[in-house]
């Protein structure tokens, strides 16, 4: 038993996180920045940070991940990182020639008090930023929030730095997809475009972190939102932010800066989540829902009815990022399943906890919720009160193996399976895929455990 | 020799043998703004100490440093699995302002009470160095209270390179050395240093030594145990592998305990055999050791030879690029690849020193590109230019190779099968063969042309 060290006795831990269900802000910042076309994320800190982030993202996406670093030394840590960052900006534009550099801070540069805007001003004054090239930054100290807030802050920084309003409104709708997979971003855009809506989506990591094999190494792949699009986002008709934790700050900032009205929704996971998204798109853009989308919806409803007998009453433990966990919980409850242990690693606030409690209000038994918690506590809950299914990232597989419970991988990171970057779990089609995964896990387990007498062919 | 822009300051870190006087400008801190493949001090310490399976490894810092190093390296243990859990003080903003010492003491106390480890390693991260927590003092206090060694690891990320992290780890290990009983240690005895049991490699090496009649007192740190480290000063010889991560410890043990050491490599037939012969030679007062060694080498080589010969036929004339952490590993890989009939067209390391590069220069054929601290652009440029069929590297290099449509072999943390020892050579050859000759590359546009032209030439 790999996790034999997990005890069943639950103690309040204040000084200690064991087996985290989150990581630090800068990796979220890096992921968001990769969703800008021609952008080189830059870690203003020591060399290890960005090496770890690049490795973690590489393991998750199986794609090259580039970023640069200020490569702090002891000297920089005493005298400040200005010289390093100015030199870095100079070096990056002369060697790698990106369109834009997205700087994020780290615990180190935040604590020594580096002022990034002031350093940018110095770099520009010194002529280190060529014409037509851009810089932007987000403050992402690792001791605040989590990878999700790092993502949210960097997405907001795209608005702060680039969104402009010329007073005229274009017909475009801004989509802020949240901390989701490249496949999800592509699906969210597809749904909007199938309704005939022109969109600006940011960030957009599709075709960046799920690109094709071309026989060439491209430092800056094809995908990503362009700076021009980001500028135009200030003139859009409206913004739809998916996931309150990851996307609301950017949407609100755009409303405040350019008077683009926004709607904050949950992630479009499952029937209700997608209905809310499609309905908001329809209203905001003044279009009607096309037959194709209605068909997809109908197919999802049909499949739920076909298979609900294997799902209802099943007890589930979910661990993950706040926006995902909330949307998944709502979907499971709508399938008459019972999420009974729910943990997010990221701090998400009281309002979030209330939403989660409301989502499970109809579950006919007590539900454990911990925001923020860790995977150790999650495991303890499962040990004390076993479930039929676990939903979580790759690290949950240890729990699944030790407790012999089927696992559906969802979230970040997934280091050990294919699929997440190519097959979306968002929208009606994504709902079908999620259902398929839930059923595969549950029914494979049922088949495995069936004895010769009760083994069934038809399900 | 370049069509991609290369920073002036990096020119002296890239050479092509035979075209210019060779003076590698290595051992430098990476330039700010570089997309280096290197990591930090903490990373160095963590990889060295992490395999000690019955020790507690507590990371004092924000969550990221713990999250990114949670069980990512397949260092196998035959017993305890405590090292595969992730423990962090998860420092928050409040702790950064008011100091994290209390939190550290509380976390340590809690963990030691619960898990009763044999020792505890406390890793200091960047932020701890900046806010000035006295980690050593906390460790001393807890050590007195709990009666186990509690060892601070001074691994603040910005305080140097990965190599300095090795040194910090060795400093911590050295405090354990000499604290255990040396009873039952034979005169013909060694410590295996710098072998981390990735994929069970340490077990293979240990088996050879034991069959030679050499007692293995400790392995540092693969499948490591605190008690073994504590009594390692009783061994007659330190056998240090590869990158030199543990050379610092060998030096310290030589100074304090007079333990001689030798450097060896376990990769490839020649180096593996040489390692065993060198150790046997050291113990020439016991001639039966050499006799047994000869028998072992003969037996092992005979076992792998038939299949190796078959593989060599397919690999003859194929070209390989190597980019690894330590240069010492590159030496072995060049020999092993040559043995398989392949040509090495590029070789680079993250941390090589002047004498390492001089050795590489001697070993390589004319025209081979030799790089220090390379970035992905440089790597990809030379791989295409030199028409490599295989890339050997680590996690961040793998997708770069695949994007270009060439084979890859992980010779770093993510190798899943043992590549050390005689049987490891066979695994290595199989992996190289399978990847280089994979039918998938015919679908890589750029490579397809190269493969086609090679066929033409062959005809």
Asked if residue B275 and residue B312 are part of one domain, the reply reads no
Q: What is the pLDDT of residue B21?
A: 63
The count of domains in chain B is 3
Digit-coded pLDDT (tens) for B313-322: 999 999 999 9
Quick: pLDDT tens for A197-240: 999 999 999 999 999 998 889 999 999 999 999 999 999 999 99
**Residue B11 covered by a domain:** no
Residue A213 has its nearest CB partner, among B29, B40, B403, at B403
Segment A26-69, tens digit of pLDDT = 999 999 999 999 999 999 998 899 999 999 999 999 999 999 99
Decide if A8 touches B, using CB distance below 8 A: no
CB contact under 8 A, A74 and B61: no
Strands, E, within B125-230: which ranges? 150-153, 189-195, 215-221
Average pLDDT over residues A111-130: 96
- The verdict on residue B381 lying in a domain is yes
B427 vs B329 pLDDT, higher one: B427
Band of pLDDT at residue B453, cut at 50, 70 and 90:
low
% of chain B at pLDDT higher than 90:
73
Mutate to test the interface with A, among B10, B59, B67 (most CBs of A within 10 A): B67
Order of strands across the sheet that contains B390-393: B14-16, B369-372, B343-349, B319-324, B390-393, B407-410
* B433-437: average pLDDT: 95
Query: Smallest Cβ distance to A16: which of B110, B157, B447?
Result: B110
Handedness of CA A237, A242, A244, A249 (dihedral sign): negative
Residue B154 with chain A: CB contacts under 8 Å: none
Calculate the average pLDDT of chain A. Answer: 96
Q: Which residue of A has its CA nearest to B379?
A: A217
* Rounded distance between C-alpha atoms, residue A170 and residue B161, angstroms: 51
Q: Same domain for B138 and B88?
A: yes
Token match 């017909």: residue?
A: A171
Last residue of some domain: B141, B170, B199?
Answer: B170
Residues of B in contact with A54 (CB under 8 A): 396
pLDDT of residue B1: 45
In a domain, B181, yes or no: no
B384 Cβ contact partners less than 8 Å away, ≥ 6 residues apart: A216, B404, B446
> Does residue B356 share a domain with residue B224?
no
Q: At which of B112, B140, B170 does a domain end?
A: B170
Co-location of B281 and B316 in the same domain: no
Q: Are residues B323 and B292 in the same domain?
A: no
Tell me whether A96 touches chain B (CB under 8 Å). Answer: yes
Between CA B150 and CA B153 the distance in angstroms is 10
Which residues lie closer than 8 Å to B459 by C-beta, 6 or more apart? none
Question: Which domains does chain A carry?
Answer: 25-157 (3.40.50.1980), 173-290 (3.40.50.1980), 293-449 (3.40.50.1980)
Give a yes or no: residue B16 inside a domain: no
Quick one: B278 and B312 in the same domain?
no
Q: How confident is the model at residue B451 (pLDDT cuts 50, 70, 90)?
A: low
Residue B173 has pLDDT above 80, yes or no: yes
Question: Is there a domain that residue B9 lies in?
Answer: no
Q: What are the chain A neighbours of B380 within 8 Å (beta carbons)?
A: 216-217
CB atoms within 10 A of CB A313: 11
> What is the CB neighbour count within 10 angstroms for residue A354?
10
A129 shares contact with chain B (CB less than 8 Å): no
User: Is residue B138's pLDDT more than 90?
Assistant: yes
Confidence of residue A14 (pLDDT cuts 50, 70, 90): confident
Q: Both B443 and B314 in a single domain?
A: yes
pLDDT tens-digit series, residues A363-420? 999 999 999 999 999 999 999 999 999 999 999 999 999 999 999 999 999 999 999 9
- Interface size A-B, in CB pairs within 8 Å, comes to 257
pLDDT of A420-451, one tens digit each? 999 999 999 999 999 999 999 999 999 999 99
Q: Residue B249 is part of a domain; what is its CATH number?
A: 3.40.50.1980
For A108, B44, B152, the CA distances from B61, given in Å and listed in that order, are 11, 16, 13
Q: Is the pLDDT of residue A301 over 70?
A: yes
Partners of residue A173 on adjacent β-strands: A199, A238
Contacts of B28 (CB under 8 A, 6+ apart): B13, B372, B373
* Residues B223 and B156 both lie in one domain: no
| Cα–Cα distance list, B179 to A157, A188, B78, B228 (Å) | 54, 61, 23, 10
pLDDT of residue B14: 83
Give me the percent of chain A exceeding a pLDDT of 70: 100
Cα B250 to chain centroid distance, Å, stands at 16
- d(Cα B334, Cα B331) in Å, to the nearest integer? 5
The verdict on A140 touching B (C-beta cutoff 8 Å) is no
Q: Is pLDDT of B22 > 80?
A: no
The bridge status of strand B407-410 relative to strand B150-153 is unpaired
Residue range B76-98: mean pLDDT, rounded? 94
Question: Which of A22, A89, A217 comes nearest B380 by C-beta?
Answer: A217
Helix then strand then coil, in percent of chain B rounded to 5, is 50, 15, 35
Buried b (16+ CB within 10 A) or exposed e, A148-181: bbbbbbbbbbbbbbbbebeeeeeebbbbbbbbbb
Residues B163, B196 within the same domain: no
Domain range spanning residue B272?
Answer: 189-300
Answer yes or no: do B316 and B217 share one domain. Answer: no
Is pLDDT at B79 greater than 50 in this prediction? yes
Give the integer Cα–Cα distance in Å for A21 and A451: 37
Q: Considering only the beta carbons, identify the residue of A4, A112, A215 that sits closest to B404.
A: A215
- The distance of A75 to chain B (nearest Cα, Å) reads 9
Min Cα–Cα distance to chain A from B124, Å: 13
Interface test with B, best of A27, A47, A66 (most B CBs within 10 A): A47
> Do A217 and B85 make contact, defined as CB atoms within 8 angstroms?
no
- Using pLDDT thresholds of 50, 70 and 90, give the confidence band for residue A351: very high
Q: Please state, rounded to an integer, the average pLDDT across all residues of chain B.
A: 91
Cβ-defined contact of B158 to A46 (cutoff 8 Å): yes
Query: Considering only CA atoms, which of A202, A246, A209 is closest in space to residue A225?
Result: A202
B352 in a domain, yes or no? yes
Q: How much is the average pLDDT of B416-435?
A: 95
Q: How many helices (H) and strands (E) does chain B have?
A: 19, 14
User: What pLDDT sits at residue B2?
Assistant: 46
The helix/strand count (H/E) of chain A reads as: 17, 14
CB B51 within 8 A of CB B71: no
B315 and B453 in a single domain? The answer is yes
DSSP conformation class of A174: E
Distance of alpha carbon A148 from alpha carbon A320, whole angstroms: 11
Token pair of B90, please?
């998860």
State how far the Cα of A335 lies from the Cα of A408, in Å rounded to an integer.
16
- In this structure, the answer to whether residues B376 and B454 fall within a common structural domain is yes
> Which chain B residues are closer than 8 Å to A67 by Cβ?
35
pLDDT in tens, A182-202: 999 999 999 999 999 999 999
Tens of pLDDT, residue by residue over B261-297, are 999 999 999 999 999 999 999 999 999 999 999 999 9
Q: Is residue B1 part of a domain?
A: no
According to the per-residue pLDDT averaged within each range, which of A2-16, B155-169, B179-193 is highest?
B179-193
Say if CB A200 and CB A267 are below 8 A apart.
Answer: no
Rg (CA), chain B: 23
The last residue of one of the domains, among B139, B170, B201, is B170
Q: Which residues of B touch A10 (CB under 8 A)?
A: none
Tokens coding B200: 């069970």
């Amino acid at each position: 038993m790999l996790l034999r060290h997990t005890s069943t006795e639950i103690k309040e831990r204040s000084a200690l996180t064991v087996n985290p269900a989150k990581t630090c802000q800068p990796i979220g910042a890096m992921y968001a920045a990769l969703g800008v076309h021609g952008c080189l994320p830059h870690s203003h800190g020591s060399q290890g940070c960005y090496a770890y982030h690049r490795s973690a993202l590489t393991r998750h996406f199986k794609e090259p991940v580039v970023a640069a670093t200020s490569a702090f030394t002891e000297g920089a840590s005493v005298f400040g990182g200005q010289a390093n960052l100015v030199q870095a900006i100079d070096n990056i534009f002369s060697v790698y020639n990106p369109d834009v550099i997205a700087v994020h801070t780290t615990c180190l540069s935040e604590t020594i008090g580096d002022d990034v805007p002031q350093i940018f001003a110095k770099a520009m004054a010194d002529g280190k930023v060529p014409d037509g090239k851009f810089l932007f930054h987000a403050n992402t100290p690792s001791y605040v929030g989590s990878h999700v807030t790092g993502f949210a802050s960097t997405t907001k920084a795209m608005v702060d730095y680039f969104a402009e309003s010329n007073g005229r409104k274009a017909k475009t709708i801004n989509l802020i997809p949240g901390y989701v997979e490249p496949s999800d971003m592509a699906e969210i855009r597809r749904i909007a475009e199938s309704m005939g809506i022109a969109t600006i989506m940011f960030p957009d990591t599709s075709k960046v972190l799920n690109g094709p094999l071309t026989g060439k190494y491209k430092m800056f792949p094809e995908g990503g939102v362009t700076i021009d699009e980001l500028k135009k986002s200030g003139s859009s008709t409206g913004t739809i932010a998916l996931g309150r934790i990851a996307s609301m700050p950017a949407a609100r900032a755009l409303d405040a800066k350019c008077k683009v009205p926004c709607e904050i929704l949950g992630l479009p996971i499952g029937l209700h989540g997608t209905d809310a998204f499609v309905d908001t798109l329809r209203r905001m853009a003044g279009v009607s829902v096309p037959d194709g989308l209605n068909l997809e919806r109908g197919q999802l409803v049909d499949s739920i009815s076909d298979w609900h007998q294997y799902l209802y009453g099943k007890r589930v433990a979910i661990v993950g990022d706040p926006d995902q966990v909330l949307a998944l919980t709502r979907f499971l409850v709508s399938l008459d399943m019972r999420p009974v242990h729910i943990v997010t690693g990221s701090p998400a606030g009281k309002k979030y906890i209330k939403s989660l409690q409301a989502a499970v209000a109809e579950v006919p038994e007590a539900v454990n919720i911990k925001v923020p918690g860790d995977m150790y506590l999650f495991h303890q809950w499962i040990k004390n009160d076993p479930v039929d299914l676990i939903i979580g990232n790759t690290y949950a597989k240890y729990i699944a193996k030790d407790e012999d419970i089927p696992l559906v991988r969802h979230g970040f990171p997934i280091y050990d399976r294919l699929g997440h970057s190519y097959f979306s779990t968002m929208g009606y089609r994504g709902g079908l895929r999620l259902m398929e995964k839930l059923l595969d896990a549950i029914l494979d387990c049922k088949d495995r455990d069936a004895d010769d007498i009760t083994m069934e062919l038809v399900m | 020799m370049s069509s991609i822009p290369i920073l002036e300051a990096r020119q002296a870190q890239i050479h092509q043998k035979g075209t210019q006087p060779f003076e590698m400008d290595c051992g430098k801190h990476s330039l700010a703004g570089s997309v280096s493949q290197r990591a930090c001090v903490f990373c160095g310490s963590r990889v060295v100490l992490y395999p000690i399976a019955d020790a507690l490894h507590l990371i004092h810092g924000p969550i990221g440093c713990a999250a990114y190093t949670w069980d990512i390296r397949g260092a196998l243990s035959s017993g305890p699995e405590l090292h595969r859990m992730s423990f962090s003080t998860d420092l928050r903003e409040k702790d950064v302002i008011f100091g994290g010492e209390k939190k550290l003491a509380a976390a340590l106390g809690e963990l030691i009470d619960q898990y009763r480890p044999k020792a505890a390693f406390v890793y200091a991260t960047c932020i701890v160095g900046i806010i000035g927590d006295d980690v050593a003092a906390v460790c001393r206090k807890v050590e007195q209270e709990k009666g186990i060694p509690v060892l601070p690891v001074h691994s603040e990320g910005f305080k140097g390179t990965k190599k300095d992290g090795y040194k910090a780890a060795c400093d911590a290990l050295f405090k354990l050395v000499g604290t255990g009983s040396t009873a039952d240690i034979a005169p013909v005895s060694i410590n295996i240093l710098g072998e981390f049991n990735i994929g069970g490699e340490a077990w293979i090496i240990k088996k050879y030594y034991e069959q030679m009649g050499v007692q293995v007192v400790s392995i540092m740190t693969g499948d490591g145990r605190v008690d073994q480290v504590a009594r390692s000063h009783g061994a007659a010889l330190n056998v240090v592998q590869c990158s030199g991560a543990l050379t610092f410890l060998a030096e310290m043990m030589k100074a304090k305990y007079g333990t001689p050491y030798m450097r060896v490599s376990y990769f490839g037939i020649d180096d593996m055999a040489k390692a065993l012969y060198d150790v046997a030679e050291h113990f020439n007062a016991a001639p039966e050791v050499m006799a047994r060694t000869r028998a072992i080498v003969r037996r092992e080589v005979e076992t792998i030879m038939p299949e190796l010969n078959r593989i060599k036929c397919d690999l003859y004339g194929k070209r390989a690029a190597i980019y690894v952490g330590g240069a010492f590993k590159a030496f072995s890989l060049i020999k092993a690849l040559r043995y398989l009939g392949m040509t090495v067209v590029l070789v680079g390391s993250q941390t090589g020193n002047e004498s390492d590069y001089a050795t590489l220069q001697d070993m390589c054929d004319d025209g081979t590109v030799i790089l220090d601290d390379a970035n992905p652009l440089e790597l990809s440029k030379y791989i295409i230019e030199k028409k490599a069929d295989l890339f050997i590297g680590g996690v961040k290099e793998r997708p770069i190779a695949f994007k270009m449509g060439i084979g890859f072999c992980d010779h770093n943390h993510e190798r899943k099968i043992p590549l050390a020892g005689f049987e490891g050579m066979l695994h290595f050859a199989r992996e190289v063969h399978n990847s280089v000759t994979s039918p998938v590359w015919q679908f890589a546009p750029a490579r397809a042309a190269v493969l086609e032209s090679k066929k033409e030439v062959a005809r």
